[in-house]
Structure 1
Amino acid sequence: MAAFGTVFMPEMALAKFENGAWSKAEFVSASSLQMHPGAHVLHYSSTCFEGLKAFKHDDGSINIFRMDQNIKRMAQSSRLLNLPKVDGKQLESMILDVVKKYADEVPAPPGSMYIRPTHIGIEPSIGKAAAPSATSLLYVLLSPVGDYFAGGAKPLRLLLADNGMRCAPHMGMIKSGGNYASALGPILEARESANADQILFCPGGDVQETGAANFVLIDGNEIITKQLDSTFLHGVTRSSILTLASDLGMTVSEREISVDELLERAAKPGTEAALSGTAAVLTPVGTLIHEGKERLVGSGEMGATTAKLRSALNKIQWGQAEDTHAWLTKVN
């Protein structure tokens, strides 16, 4: 089977912003993108994107999960990057139209159609290092995917980093490619030096996020995660998991958590930790690595609460449980 996110549908939806207005969206080849080598995005990283999924239900219908939240976040990212203002209604239509076009290609669960809206500045001007791009492209790519963890969601090993951040603090809640590039070096170093799967950024001892996912700690009936601020990504899956935890009667604590508290709680029997994200859903964390020492989180395996929350989310996405929060948008 092809690696996750490497297969694409032959066409994508695309619209262009120029002369102060958006063009009508159209379907174009997904294998070619026209831009000048001096395009703003190639030199000054004026780019943001989203990741969401469409699911096939037993009745044959195709349903997109929390599209409204991803559109809202893309509009926010575009605004904070000073890209042209995104037309939310147009982006919604682009997503619905391209998913409908390839509805027959949406895999059955646990597979899905990964949807990647992308917004890039394309003005050919290498003199605009301190000015925004006046023109841009907005496009929506589709990639049919299987389970992110083909062999099952194995507990991850996280290296806790007291120094450094995933990205610049004022860029934290922007879903921009530059933030992922910023985290790549530390992630690769963590893999090399500690055999870690990911790095958990904890600047000044404040537990934040990994290079590509939000972090949650589960201690008994309490789920703990950092409160929202501008320094880290506001995950849609994170929000969904916290809502489901509340539905199950759990105490949801959105607050600061220190490395010391994390390590103390993680050592207790029954404690669980996990990463949340669109691709990985909710993936267990089994080991924390800090100052050269490895510490198991609880039993070191996926805990019952993590499994329950992951299953609850999947069942809604797959149409196997009632969508009480109106998170799904039916395409056909």
Structure 2
Amino acid sequence: MTDIAITRTTSPKQTPPDESLSFGKVFTDHMFLMNYEEGKGWHDPRIVPYAPFTLDPACCVLHYGQGIFDGLKAFRGRDGQVRIFRGPDHAQRLNRSAHYLCIPELDPALVEESFRALVEVDERWVPSLAGTSLYIRPTVIATETFLGVHPSHSYLYFVILCPVGAYYKEGMNPVRILASDQHVRAVKGGLGAAKTMANYAASLYGAEEAQKAGYTQVLWLDAVEHKYLDEVGTMNIMMRIGDEIVTPALNGAILDGITRRSTLTLLRDWGYRVSERPVSIDEVTAAAKAGTLEMWGTGTAAVISPVGELGYKGERYVINGGVTGALTQKLYDTIIGIQYGTSNDPYGWAKPVRRG
């Protein structure tokens, strides 16, 4: 394993009370940095005090958006142990995103170690209150200075941390989502399967319209027929229709969510009939009308988020009576139990930060 140089801050900040935490507002004392130069490769891994970057105005990422990121969490259990949830899987997904953006891949073991080492340095920032965690944001940006459309020859990999509370103000209460047939997030053959800045920029306008209409998020439909479900702005979508668990298949326009994977593993191990297939919005609204639909989102930020209402073409469909379904609650409780170390972890998903 490559040695990581550590320079600790001489001015540590005060950690906020756990009860005050929202999402993505407060950042810890340190960050991880590593550089790439063509001919030299990735080099100089280091942990330094958290501080602003200096970027040239002609920096590639500012003009052409060549950048990627990922997101995962560390949890403090009742036993005091801090665990990172599915770090290796997030490291691998970061590299898949890098491939889409023509960014040189990183050593997955070093990426995983960057998570562990940085969390260990800033371990005092990991909150203890139920429902809180330490969010880990690894990012790669193109740093070469030029104007012209081609991949950069230099990059910066960095990791920052922030203690967080619930992603949605509703918490575990059902959210309202709007299926949009007017706006498009991603198309097959594009960047939909990569966790890149461009995908989130493309979602902003539609999300703003949905929020003005009283919805929490947009349920994006496919970009060609505007008929089949893709994903929600910050999470994959999943549902129970009768006795079948259904989620859209990974088709190149949908992010391969780590929580999605975890949920599918649990459901299959529990004996449910699980299908990854195209799901039409008409099938979903018909099930809602018939009272045979339970719907939830899966994602790192919110973990499992029940959907209580779906809007589509001016109609509002109440799902599962507007309350959290039993299966949704079971999935949430099981994953949270593994993350906090209060339940058995037969998959080895939650890894302690401290070695030994």
Q: The TM-score by the shorter chain falls in which range? A: over 0.9
> Cα distance, 1:261 vs. partner?
0.6
How far off is 1:150 after superposition?
5.3
Compared with structure 1, are the counterparts of its residues 270 and 258 closer, same or farther at alpha carbon in structure 2 (3 Å cutoff)?
closer
CA shift digits 1:245-297 (9 cap, x unpaired): 12222111111111111111122335211111111111111111111111111
- Residue 248 of structure 2, aligned match among 193, 202, 226: 226
Task: Find the counterpart in structure 1 of residue 285 from structure 2.
Answer: 263
TM-score, normalization: structure 2?
Answer: 0.89
Please state whether the residue corresponding to 1:208 is helix, strand or coil: strand
Amino acid at match of 1:306: T
Partner of 1:119: 140
Give 1:291-310 correspondences, 5 Å limit. 291-310=313-332
Question: RMSD over aligned Cα, in angstroms?
Answer: 1.5
Residues 53-68 of structure 1 aligned to structure 2 (within 5 Å): 53-68=73-88
SS across alignment from 2:218: strand
1:160 corresponds to: 179
Superposed displacement of residue 158, structure 1 = 1.4
- Which residue of 100, 108, 115 maps to 1:80? 100
Q: How many percent of aligned residue pairs carry the same amino acid?
A: 36
- Listed as ranges, the gaps of 5+ residues in structure 2 are 1-19
Deviations 1:287-330 (A, max 9, x none): 11111111111212111110111111100101011110111221
Using the TM superposition, give the Cα deviation of residue 172 of structure 1 relative to its aligned residue in structure 2, in angstroms: 0.7
1:175-196 CA-partner distances (Å, limit 9, x unpaired): 011100100101111222x322
With normalisation by structure 1, the TM-score equals 0.95
Gaps of 5+ in 1: none
Larger CA deviation: 24-33 vs 271-280: 24-33
Contact 2:210 2:218 in 1 (8 A): yes
Amino acid at match of 1:75: N
Could you say what secondary structure the match of 1:25 adopts?
Answer: strand
CA distances 1:89-139 after superposition (whole Å, capped 9, x unpaired): 221221111011112221123211100000000001112x2x101000001
Task: Describe the SS at the equivalent of 1:116.
Answer: strand
1:320 aligns to 2:348 (yes or no) = no
Which residue is equivalent to 2:309? 287
1:208–1:232 Cα contact (<8 Å) kept: yes
Aligned to 1:207: 229
**How many corresponding residue pairs?**
329
Aligned equivalent of 2:151: 132
Bigger drift between 163-172 and 77-86 goes to 163-172
Correspondence for 1:52 among 57, 72, 76 = 72
